[in-house]
Structure 1
Amino acid sequence: MSNSQPKVAFAQRSEFRQALRQRVDSYFSSNNIRPNDNPAMYFKSAVIYSWVLGSWAFVLWGPSNIPLKILGCIALGFGLAGFGMSVGHDANHGSYSKNPLINRFFSYTHDFIGVSSFLWRFRHNKLHHIYTNLKGLDVEIQGDGAVRLSPNENRRWHHQYQQYFIWFLYPLIPFYWFLGDTRRFIFSGSYLGHPIPKPKASDIFDFVVPRIVSFAFFFIIPAWQGYSFIEIFVGLSISHMVYGLIVVSIFMLAHVVESVDYPDIDYSTNKVDDEWAILQVKTSADFAPDNAFLNWYLGGLNYQTIHHLFPDVCHIHYPKLAPIVAEVCEEYGIQYNVYDTFGSAIASNYRWLRRLGQPVEIPAAVA
């Protein structure tokens, strides 16, 4: 395709989508709650910022004990993951606040941890959120040959072992993102043949300045405190590998499990059989809805169906919206995919990866 926005037509909007929006809007109006700009979200952001700063300070100025410093780096990695999932994710969706300036400020969270918010909004908000699990469009489920994440990708011999070795790839993904984003931004690259938008002056600022701040935070200050390059590199690698393991594995549980669909596109017309909202329900899965800690820490990513249907709503509302969506789905005969526990979602992801790795054809549109 020659432009940055793919041309795929969904089925005409149905009563299902209208019913969803009406009942969710009714929930907010009847309870006098705002979908964004919530004090609970600002407080949560302050907690996570404190988590990151506290872990970083402990590593730098805490006891000169290697095991304790490693634990500090691990804690920092958990903080960075929470940083990205709970703060940067909402901000880059525009769901943190109705004020674009506030969203822009908190979107720098992604840039600070090495992910370009400018590129993320194109790759994630458009190619993934609009065209979820569609071949050649959803870049988030493309394994680049290393792994096979959908039946729409070609199988290679080593994929029969992917359910085992994929866990060793997750920690490396932040480095892959950083290098890939840098290359695409500088050389005007593309995702799956879809060129990235031409950056404006403000996009260049957003790409460069937060990286300078991050470099000072993670490199200059530790070096000024007397840490060697090797010590800084090892500590930073530990933190980012922990962050990668958490963030990527959580994404997998939302879209790479047995219960979700990988629909076909009629390439003669570039049409999809389902309307957009129904596609989002079929291609996403929730997990561990009763786990209070995960509901808080994962930034609503364990309510992936709710997030895909209402990406403009702050994630702190997802637990209350889930029963509403489940009720509407039941009324319209649409399967709402939910794994009751974190463990059951991991088990389903394992079985699906193992199935994709076997030399057996799997229909692209999996029911």
Structure 2
Amino acid sequence: MIPFLDLKAQYASLKNEIDAAVLGVLASAQYVLGPEVAQFEEEFAAYCDAKHAVAVNTGTSALHLSLLAAGVGPGDEVITVPFTFVATVSAICYAGAVPVFVDVEPVTLTMDPAKLEAAITPRTKAIMPVHLYGQMADMDAIMATAGRHGIPVIEDACQAHGAEYKGRRAGSIGVSGCFSFYPGKNLGACGEGGIVVTNNDAHAKTMRMLRDWGQERRYHHVLKGFNYRMDGIQGAILRVKLRYLDVWTAARRTHAMRYSSLLSNLDTVETPVEVAYRRHVYHVYAVRCRDRDALHRALEAEGIQSGLHYPVPVHLQKAHEDLGYRPGDFPVSEAAARTVLSLPIYPEMTARQVEQVVAAMEHDAYVS
């Protein structure tokens, strides 16, 4: 069997370092926040070319706190995309704001800047592009539109650790950038975790208080905050893994290039496009298929796991039907939801496994 990802293999490759890091936290009894989390914040901020990093318990919490720090509240509108994981929209709802959608570009499946201007109203308080699958949105165009209206941009970089746009790291362009360390991410914790990076001193200070019950100092609660703190063990593990992130990214990119080369003659599949000035980190290698479900079943029959990211866009999810959107409102997102299939990709994957996946895709069970 070829798994969609192999977390056991990653742990095995770092077992001694991770075990030592965890035991160090247990011995210190610094289980919540603490020095390991503080050091990870410094190291991850430097990795992203940002001044501050605020570690939290999930990527969703990172998005939520970024919105609150930007002054988003009840009745405000936040523009984002419908083709994303639901957490992007949930965070907007947590802030009491209203999600407003714009469609994605057909090639990159990231926010279409040409649709952005028409969505802005006097109630728009933030724009939240999603760096989908590991490739950044067109940030220059988005920032230009946002700048004309004085609207902050918050990057949902939860799938884009180390991605770049014209040489700038994901998370460093908007007022803040939000990352998830869910185990399957390019940089994954052994559990849950998230972080916000920002160059804004005031936002960083606010988010540090909000993640820890709104405390300015112990038992002095300035804001109505949350319990969004990162565990010390996760901070220690992430410090170990961060040292390998660039090597892992290089491996992902190598696998992606091999997929694209081998699949170039298969006319039933459209491979992802890496825009020339955007460094794709391939959190997901998503192809477009004429009959996605048939390919999904064919791969499963061959013992190959694949994923659907995402089969139902957020505007058509039952949980968000109150927003009033209907089928046909965002045709590019809806077409993507019908056709995308994520192939196995992870650093520990071998070239032979990539070849086996492609061979299965060429099998008569699918193409005939």
* Structure 1 length-normalised TM: 0.29
Which structure is higher in helix share?
A: 1
| Higher RCO (Cα < 8 Å, 6 or more apart) | 1
Structure-2-length-normalised TM-score: 0.29
Report which of the two has the higher share of strand.
2
